[in-house]
Amino acid sequence: MIDNYITIANLLGEEIPVRNIYCVGRNYISHAKELDNPISKEPIIFQKSVSSLTNADEIVLTEGTFIHYELEVVVFIKSSGYRIKPENATKYIEGFALGLDLTDRPLQNQLKSKQLPWFLSKNFKNSAIVSAISDWKNPSWNSKFWLEKNGNKVQTGNMKDMIFSVEDIIAYISNRIPLVCGDLIFTGTPEGVGKIENDDNFKLGLGDKTIKSLTVKF
């Protein structure tokens, strides 16, 4: 943390303040189907508050008792850009991480039924969890990423299965909102989301490597 800003280390180890957290909903067909949601023709964008972000190894949740985990690839933006073309999008990427977008599912369903924004169901303390950043050019990012819960693999995804690619997402968001250094983009979750229980142990991995482990308590 620098001057009360939440920070993430870049590839050089420099602490960069996180500015905004953007998220993409329903970016894998399999996940949209498991929640009986339609497939969108454009990216569905929402935000998580920066104060909901954590990279801790022990997470304490204080809001709700029916919280779902959602494994996602997270993009770390390294420089400012506006109306970025898809073919230029990678120039703005510092690296990738794995993250968990936590969701208060009953509250989300309640808000959706009233045609209200999801914001409160997606934003609470420790609801945005991220691993360390790694080089997005690493070939490992072409491998499957996965989530284990208490030793059982519950989610597996591959970036090639995204409906909207990272480049398309960056172009879409920046066409409306200028991106700045320190922005994070959660790019959507594959199928297999589920409920978190007290003392659950999670491992987030890429290929054959675990890149983050954590425990969740209520």
pLDDT of the residue at 40: 80
Across 108-130, average pLDDT: 95
- List, for residues 55-70, the tens digit of each pLDDT value: 999 999 987 779 999 9
Whether the model clears a pTM of 0.75, i.e. scores above it, the answer is yes
Domains, the chain, with CATH or none: 7-217 (3.90.850.10)
pLDDT of the residue at 3: 53
Taking 70 as the threshold, does the pLDDT of residue 24 lie above it?
A: yes
Taking 90 as the threshold, does the pLDDT of residue 162 lie above it?
A: yes
Mean pLDDT of the chain: 93
pLDDT of the residue at 113: 93
- List, for residues 37-61, the tens digit of each pLDDT value: 777 889 999 999 999 999 999 999 9
Can you give the three-state secondary structure of the chain, one letter per residue? Answer: CECCECEEECCCCCEEECCCEEEEECCCHHHHHHCCCCCCCCCEEEEECHHHEECCCEEECCCCCCEEECEEEEEEECCCECCCCHHHHHHHEEEEEEEEECEEHHHHHHHHHCCCCCHHHHCCCCCEEECCCECCCCHHHHCCEEEEECCEEEEEECHHHCCCCHHHHHHHHHCCCCECCCCEEECCCCCCCEECCCCEEEEEEECCEEEEEEEEEC
